[in-house]
Structure 1
Amino acid sequence: MARRDLTGAVNFRYLEDFARGDEAMIDEVLALFREQAAMWSGMLDPASEGWRDAVHTIKGAARGVGAFDLGDVCAAAEESGPTGLDAVRDALDLALTDIAAYAHERAIQSLRTPRS
């Protein structure tokens, strides 16, 4: 998986600009997003009492990393109720796929770039 596999679910330029090109910060933010996504996924069940809190948290975190479509889907699910959870799960999967492709590309690039 590499940058060519990006779907556009995450605007990485937004994140790069926000982090002012600090590669360590970008890596840390994306790693935190992925770790938290694992926790949120279990809560994206209509039977879970915390589904609404999970959706609200995902919305903010998604917008923070540049996954604006995911943030919008979460906002819609907050309004529509648990019927919107399938769309949240799908959008979260797309964002995570893009993050994986982006991280993979960055890892490959770091191997090609000589260190001083």
Structure 2
Amino acid sequence: MALRDLSGAVDFSVLERMTGGDDAITEEVLGLFFQQAGLWSPMLDVREDGWRDAVHTIRGAAAGIGAGTLAAVCQTAEAAEKAAAPPLLERVRDALGIALADVAAYRHEMMLRSLRG
């Protein structure tokens, strides 16, 4: 993966402004996003008591890295009644997967840049 693989799901300029362009901080933030996604995504199911907390946490993390579509989908799911939430949670999972692919491509490009010196 490399920058050419980006879907546009994440506006990395948001993250770069937040981190001041510091690659080490950017990598740390993206690593935390990846970890949080792994921790919270199993709870994206209305059968889980904390599904709304999971959506809320992912929404905040998404906004912080510039994943605006993911944050918006999360906001909609978070506000939904439990009975209406399953298809919305599916949209969250889909948007999260796309954002994670962009994050992986971006991190890969950062790693390649660091190897080039």
Aligned residues: 113
Aligned to 2:13: 13
Q: 1:96 is aligned with what amino acid?
A: L
The answer to whether structure 1 residue 94 and structure 2 residue 98 are counterparts is: yes
Preserved CA contact (<8 Å) 2:2 2:109: yes
Structure 1 residue runs of 5 or longer lacking an equivalent are: none
In the aligned structure 2, how far is the partner of 1:54 from the partner of 1:34? 14
- Once superposed, which parts of structure 1, at least 4 consecutive aligned residues long, lie more than 4 Å away? none
The answer to whether structure 1 residue 29 and structure 2 residue 33 are counterparts is: no
Q: 2:113 is aligned with what amino acid?
A: Q
Structure 2 residue runs of 5 or longer lacking an equivalent are: none
- After alignment, is 1-10 or 78-87 more displaced? 78-87
In the aligned structure 2, how far is the partner of 1:25 from the partner of 1:54? 24
In the aligned structure 2, how far is the partner of 1:60 from the partner of 1:52? 12
| Structure 1 counterpart SS, 2:115 | helix
TM-score by length of 2: 0.93
> What do residues 22-57 of structure 1 show as CA deviations (whole Å, max 9, x unaligned)?
111100000001011101111011110100000011
| Structure 2 counterpart SS, 1:10 | coil
Question: Could you say what the CA RMSD is over the residues aligned between the two structures, in angstroms?
Answer: 0.9
Preserved CA contact (<8 Å) 2:43 2:54: yes
Identical-residue share of aligned pairs (%): 56
**Superposition map of 1:55-74 within 5 A:** 55-74=55-74
TM-score by length of 1: 0.94
